[in-house]
Chains A and B, each alone.
Chain A
Amino acid sequence: MSPYTVIIRRSGNPFELAHVLVSWLIGAGYDAYVVVGCATRDTCMAIKYRSICADIPDESEKKEEIPPPDEEPRYRLVPLPDLTSKYCRDMDKKADDKKQAELNKTEKERLRKIADLEKAPADAINGWRTHAWVLVLPGYMGIDEPFFIEPSEGEGHLLDSEKYQFIDSVYNHENYYANVQSTDIGLDSLNYDLSDLSAWEHLLAGEPHHRRQMVGIDIADKKTAVQTEKHLDMPVSWVEKLEISTDEYGQRYPGSHKVIHYKKVLLDKFSPYSERDGVVKRIRTFEDYALTVPLITYEWYKHRVDKMETVRIDHTKREIRETFGIGRRDHLLKHVYSMDALVGSVEAVRTMEFNYYARLDHLTRLVCTTLTFDEYYSNRSDRLESRLVIYTEGTKETKRQIKDVTETYSRNHEIPSKQDVWKKIFHLQDNTIELLYQYAYNYVTNNTRSYIKPNLAETGGKILFYPDKTSGYIADPNAKQPRDLEVYYALCENMEWEHATTKQIRDRETDVNGYLRQRHKELTEPMLAVALFDTEKNEAAKKGWKEQEAKKAEVTEREKEAEIDPLAPYLARMFGSGHGSGNPLTVKEATLIREQCINDFKSKQLARQMLVQERFEKLNNEYKNKRLWYLANQFILTPEKESNYFTMSAELAFQVHTLEVRLTRHQDLSGPRYKILLEYLDKHPLLKEYNRSKNYYGIK
C-alpha cells in the first residue's frame, strides 16, 4: 500500500506506517531510513499494558537545595556543647541500621516478586517477529546521535531500547543497505556509518549524490564524469504527493479519539473541539491490573470558556482539584473540593486560590470547612494578611453563627510596635475583643489588651468605659501603662471594626456562593471558545460572512438591472414615470421619441462644443494680448513686474492648452458617441415596431 493510501485510509501495517513517517521526515530534511528487522512481541503487536505510562504528571514535591555559601563565613556562632553520650548514640545508630537493612531486604524481595509476576509470558517465536521502524541518522537538522522512532506510536527510542532485537536492512528513497554486522552484541554497538562497506552492503553501487566525496574528480572532463556517474539510481517515486489538510490534522486520531492501555493506566486522547466539554486528554490510573478500582483521574482541557485547564480527581481521598488559566472574571486559579461537597455550598470542605493581583480585595486563598471560613490576602494596603472565622455548629432550623473572628496584620514599620496591632480577635458569642500587638525588636512577648464589650442596649448606644472590663499586658517593664483615653479609643474603634468585619464576612460568603453557582453552571453546561479568525469553527462569524457575501451579490445584481436608458426621460415625459418595461411603442410614438432623443443629443453636443470653443477663444485672445503687451514693454518693465507676467502667462498658457485638448477630444468623441446612440436605439426593445418598419421601408 502506498503512503498516500495509508494516509487516506488512516491505517496500515508497520512497514506502511514506517514508509509514511520516513517520507515526512525526509521531506522535512532529516536523514531517515526504514529499518527492517526483528522486534519483541509487545512492539510488533503494539501491546502497551506491560509498560508504564510516561504521561502521568509528576506530583512528587521538588526540594530546592540552598547552595552553600561561596566562602567560609568569617563569623560563626559557637556551637552549643553536646552533652549526650557518644556511645549511646552509636549503639542506637547500629540498631537502627540493622532494622533498616532488614526492611530494605523485605521490600526488595517484594518488588522482585511483583516484577516477576508482571513479566510477559514466554514467546515461542521470540526473535523471529519481523517488524519495521524508523532510524534517524545524525548530520542533519541538528541531530547528534542516531535514534529509532516507533512509527505506530510516534515515540523516539534510544539505540539500546529493548523493543528491537535485530536489524536486517535499512533503506530509503536513495538506496537499500543490507546489514552485514552481527547484531548479537546489541543494536547500540552497531556501526551506523552507511558508507562503510564492511558493515553495510549496498544494493545500488555508489553513494547518493549528497554523500559522495567529489574531491579530486574533475566533472568537466567528460570521461571521468561518466565514470563517476556510472552506477544505478533508485527510480523516482510514483506515489502521489502526501498531504494532510488542516481539518484532518485537527482531528489527530481516526474518529477523533484514541485509547491506549498502559500498565494500570488508561490514556484517552481526544482531538480539540471533538468533545462537548473540551477535554483533550484523560489519564485514569487504577489500583489493579483489571482496571476496576480507580485511583486518580487526570484530565486536560482546551478552549473552554471558563478557562478550566486541568482536573485531577482523587478517588481514594474523594477530592477534585481544578486549575484555571488567568483571565476569569472571579480570578479563580485553583479549586479543590471534596466529591461529596454539597454543590455551591460554602459549608463544604473546599479551598479556592485566586490570582490576587487582579482582584481589588487581593484575596489569595479561601479555605472553607463546615465550621471554619479562612481568607488569606497578599499585599493589601491595610496590611490585612488573613481573616479566620470559626462558626458555632448550626442546627437544622438555625444557620451556623459566627463564633470567633481572628484578623492578622503584618507589621507596619512606620509606627511603633506598641501601636501596631498584630491580631484582632473578636469573640462574638462571649462579647469580648482581644487585641494582640506586634512584637518589638528583641522581645519574646507582645502587648495584649482584652475588652469585655459594654452592653450598648443599657447605655443607649453610647460606649462607656469601665476600667475593670479591660485588662492588658505590656511587654516592656519600663513602659508606662497606656492612658485610659487611648484604651477607650481602641475599644471604640474595634467595636466599629467588628461590625464592619462581620458584614464583610457575610458579603464574602455571598460572593463565594455566587462563584460556586457560576462554577456549577460552567461544569454542567460547558462552553468552548472559538478564536475569532478560525474560519472553520467560528459559526457566528461564518454566518456573518455568508450574509455579507449574499448582500454583496445582491448589490451587483441590482446594479446590472439598473442600466441607464437614454430614452427614459422622453418616455417619462410622454407617459409618466415607470414606463421602463412597458409594451413596445407604436411607430408614431416611437418616431417622435426617437427624433426628440437624437435632436437633444445633437444640440447638447453642439452646445458643449460651442461653450468650450468660446472659452478657448477668449482665453487665447487674452493670452495673445498679454504677450503683445509684453513684447512692447519688455525693456521698460521692472523685474518684479516681469516675473509677475511670466507666472501669469504660464498659467494662461496652461488653461488655453487644457481647453484645446478638451475641444479636440470632444470633436473626436462626438461622432462615435452619436453612432453608439443610434445603434442602441436600433436595438431598443420599446422601439421594436419602429425599427422593423424602418428596416422594412429602408428609411435612412
Chain B
Amino acid sequence: MTEKRSLNSLVIYPDIEPGVIDNAMIIRCILEYGPTEEAGRLFAEEGVHLDEAQVVRLEFQNILRIDHLWMLKSLRKLTLAHNLIEKIENLDQLTGLNELDLSFNKIEKIENLDKLVNLEILTLFHNRIRKLENMELLEKLLVFSIGDNIIEDYKEMAYLRRFRFLRSVSFKGNPCCDDPMAYQFIKSALTRVTYLDYKIVTEAEREDGRALFRGVLRKLDEADEKSENERLAKEDYEARVKFYALSFVEYLSGPELLEAMFEKDPDGSLLLKMGGELNGFFEQPAIRGDNLLYTSCSKYQYKEQYVETMAGLVEFALEAYNARQYEIKLFKDLVNDALEESVKKSKEIIIEYENKKRPLVNEMQEFINRFTTKQATIEELEPLIVDLGETFNEVLYHLWKSLMTIEMQLYEQCEESRVQFSVNITEMVTKLLEVSRNAFGAWREQEGVWSMRQFEALSKLLGNKLILGDVPPELFEVMMDRDLMMNLVAQSSDNHMRFIDGREDLLMTRANNWRDELVQGTNDNEVKRNRDRILEINYYIDNQREEWTDMQMGLTEIVDPETVALLGDDF
C-alpha cells in the first residue's frame, strides 16, 4: 500500500508544468522516440508528418487533459501513461487506434471509447476506476489491463465475458483481490481468457471456480447464450437481406413486407382488429375447423397469395442475378486476358529497348571518359555525340511508337465487346423488370380483392352492437358509422397501393441505377486505364530522355560555358 501511494504522488519531471497536449509537445515526443543516428537525421530533416505518425508516446508530460490528437489520423498506438489525466475524452477521431495505454493516470471512469472499434490492447493500469462500463463496442479487444484500480466487487469482471477475442486480462492490485474468491470467480467466468495477470489459466483452476459459482455462472451463461443467438440470427438475416439486395428483391421473400405495410397503415390494422371472418381472409387460420367456411370459398388467402407471388419473383431475380454475374465474369475475363497480353507484349518491347540502349550508353560513357582524360577535345567529339544522340532519339521514338500502338490496339479491340456487354446487361435488367412488373401487378390485384372482401365482411357487421361488443372502442366507433367505415377502407386501400407503388419504384430505380453504374463504370474504367497507360508511356519516355540529357550534361559540366552554348542548341 505504501508503495502504491508513493507511486501515485510520484512526479518524475516536477519542472514540467502540468498542462494540455500541444503541437510542440507531440512533435517533440515523436522526434524523441523516432529513429536515431543517420536515420534520425533524415527523419528530422524531413520534418514531422503528423498525419502519418503511427506510434506516439506522450509519457511523463504531466498532461491534464487529452486533446489535440485529432490530427494524428493514422495513429495505431498511443501511449499516455504517467500523466495527470482524469477523464478519457477527445479520442473519437483516432478510429484506427489499435493500442491505447492510459496507465498511471487519475482516470475515474471508463468512457468515450465507443469510436475506437479497432482497439485490441487497452491498458488502464493504476487508475481510479470503480466500474467496468461503456466498452460494449470494443469488439476486437484482445488484451485488457485493469490492475491497480479500485474495483471493489469482483463480480464486476463478468462484464468482460462479452469480448469474444479477449485473451489476456490483468487484474491484480484491486481491493477485491484480497478476497480469495475473486480469482476463482474470474478464472471460471472468463472462459475465453487464457492469461490472467500474465499467467496461464489451467483447466483445473477453472473447474474449481465453476463448482463454487455454479448458480451465478449458469445465469450468466444463459444470458450470454441468448444474446449470442440473437446476434447470430441478426447477422444471418442481414446477410440474407444483403444477398437479396444484390438481386434487388430484399425483404420480398416471406411475409415481412406485407406485415410492414399493415404496420405503416393505421387504418388497415385497426380494421384488422375486427378479427373473425376478416382474419380468415387475411391469412390461413391456425385452426381450420372453425373457419372451414371461409377457406372453402377462397382457396388462397391474401397473405399466402402474396408470399407465393413474391416467391416467384425472388426466385427469378436470384436466377437473373447469377446470369448477370456470369455475364460480367465472361466480359471481365476477356478484358483482363487482353490486358495481360498487351502488358506482356509491352514489357517485351521495353526489354528490347533496354538492350538497344545499353551499347549507346556505353559508347557515351566512352566519349566522356575520353574527354575527361583529355584524349579528345570537345570539338572532335561534338559531331559524334550529336550522332549518338540522334540514334538514341530514334530508338526512343521507336519505343514510344510500339508502346502506343499496342495500347491503341487494346483499346479498340475491347470497344466492341464493351458495347455488346452493355446491350446484354440492359436486356437482362429489362427482363427482370418485366417479371417484377407482373408480380407487382398481381399484388395489386390481390390487394383489390382483399379490399373488396374486407368491405363486404365489414358491411355485414355494420352496426351490429352485439357482435361488436368486445372490440376496441375506436373500432367500435368506426363500425357504428357507415361512411366512416367506408372511408377507412378506401383510405387503407389507397395507403396499400401507394406502398406497393413505392416498393416497385424502388426496385426499378435500383435495377436501372445498377445497370447504368455498371455500364458507365466499365466505360470510365477503360477510359481511365487507357489514359493512365498513355501517361505512363510518355512519362517513361520523358524520363529516358532526361536521363540521356543528364549524361550529356555530365560532360558539359566539366567544360566551359562556351561549349554549353554550343551543345545547348541541340538538346
Interface of A toward B, CB cutoff 8 Å: 73-80, 439, 442-445, 462-465, 473, 475-477, 483-485, 488-489, 492
Interface presence of B100 (CB below 8 A): no
Size of B's binding interface in residues, CB under 8 A = 38
B175-192 interface with A by 8 A CB criterion: none
**A445 contacts B540, C-beta separation under 8 Å:** yes
The interface residues of chain B lying within 8 Å CB-to-CB of A463 are 38
State the CA gap A640–B213 with chains docked (Å).
43
Instruction: Select from chain B the residue with minimum beta-carbon distance to A492.
Output: B39
Please pick, from A442, A462, A477, the residue contacting B539 in the complex, using a CB distance under 8 A. Answer: A477
Q: A475-B540, A485-B39, A488-B42 are in contact. Are A445 and B350 (CB under 8 A)?
A: yes
State the CA gap A76–B415 with chains docked (Å).
10
B294–chain A nearest beta-carbon distance, Å: 52
**A75 contacts B343, C-beta separation under 8 Å:** no
**A74 contacts B424, C-beta separation under 8 Å:** yes
The interface residues of chain B lying within 8 Å CB-to-CB of A79 are 413
> Interface digits, B335-353 against A, CB 8 Å rule (1 contact, 0 not)?
0001100010011001000
**B537 contacts A444, C-beta separation under 8 Å:** yes
A595–chain B nearest beta-carbon distance, Å: 73
Among B80-88, B252-260, B528-536, B557-565, the stretch in contact with A: B528-536
Instruction: Select from chain A the residue with minimum beta-carbon distance to B540.
Output: A445
State the CA gap A492–B38 with chains docked (Å).
11
Interface presence of B15 (CB below 8 A): no
A515–chain B nearest beta-carbon distance, Å: 35
Q: A77-B413, A443-B533, A475-B536 are in contact. List 19 more A-B contacts (CB 8 A).
A: A73-B334, A75-B334, A76-B334, A76-B417, A78-B412, A78-B416, A80-B413, A439-B347, A442-B343, A443-B343, A444-B347, A445-B350, A445-B540, A464-B38, A483-B46, A484-B46, A485-B39, A485-B46, A492-B39
Q: A77-B413, A78-B415, A464-B38 are in contact. Are A443 and B536 (CB under 8 A)?
A: yes
A462–chain B nearest beta-carbon distance, Å: 6
Instruction: Select from chain B the residue with minimum beta-carbon distance to A444.
Output: B346
**B536 contacts A477, C-beta separation under 8 Å:** yes
Instruction: Select from chain A the residue with minimum beta-carbon distance to B349.
Output: A444
**A444 contacts B403, C-beta separation under 8 Å:** yes
Instruction: Select from chain A the residue with minimum beta-carbon distance to B542.
Output: A477
Interface presence of B70 (CB below 8 A): no
Please pick, from B39, B330, B412, B533, the residue contacting A442 in the complex, using a CB distance under 8 A. Answer: B533
Q: A477-B535, A477-B539 are in contact. Are A75 and B417 (CB under 8 A)?
A: yes
**B46 contacts A442, C-beta separation under 8 Å:** no
**A488 contacts B39, C-beta separation under 8 Å:** yes
**A77 contacts B414, C-beta separation under 8 Å:** yes
Interface presence of B380 (CB below 8 A): no
Counting from the closest, the 6 A-B pairs by CB-CB distance are A444-B346, A477-B539, A77-B413, A75-B417, A75-B334, A485-B42
The interface residues of chain B lying within 8 Å CB-to-CB of A444 are 343, 346-347, 350, 403, 533, 536-537
Specify the main secondary structure of chain A where it touches its partner.
loop
**A445 contacts B536, C-beta separation under 8 Å:** yes
State the CA gap A506–B414 with chains docked (Å).
51
Interface of B toward A, CB cutoff 8 Å: 35, 37-39, 42-43, 45-46, 327, 330-331, 334, 338-339, 343, 346-347, 350, 403, 409, 412-417, 420-421, 424, 529, 532-533, 535-537, 539-540, 543
Instruction: Select from chain B the residue with minimum beta-carbon distance to A463.
Output: B38
State the CA gap A141–B537 with chains docked (Å).
72
**B343 contacts A476, C-beta separation under 8 Å:** no
State the CA gap A485–B38 with chains docked (Å).
9
Q: List 20 A-B contacts (CB under 8 A).
A: A73-B334, A74-B420, A75-B334, A77-B414, A78-B413, A80-B413, A442-B533, A443-B536, A444-B343, A444-B403, A444-B536, A445-B536, A445-B540, A463-B38, A476-B536, A477-B536, A485-B35, A488-B39, A489-B39, A492-B39
B370–chain A nearest beta-carbon distance, Å: 21
B193–chain A nearest beta-carbon distance, Å: 30
State the CA gap A202–B195 with chains docked (Å).
95
**B417 contacts A442, C-beta separation under 8 Å:** no
Instruction: Select from chain B the residue with minimum beta-carbon distance to A471.
Output: B547
The interface residues of chain A lying within 8 Å CB-to-CB of B42 are 465, 484-485, 488
B308–chain A nearest beta-carbon distance, Å: 34
**A442 contacts B529, C-beta separation under 8 Å:** yes
**B45 contacts A75, C-beta separation under 8 Å:** no
The interface residues of chain A lying within 8 Å CB-to-CB of B536 are 443-445, 475-477
State the CA gap A473–B550 with chains docked (Å).
14
Q: A75-B421, A463-B38 are in contact. Are A485 and B43 (CB under 8 A)?
A: yes
State the CA gap A78–B347 with chains docked (Å).
22
State the CA gap A79–B417 with chains docked (Å).
12
The interface residues of chain A lying within 8 Å CB-to-CB of B424 are 74
State the CA gap A54–B390 with chains docked (Å).
64
A447–chain B nearest beta-carbon distance, Å: 12
Among B35, B327, B347, B536, chain A packs the most CB atoms within 10 A around the CB of: B536
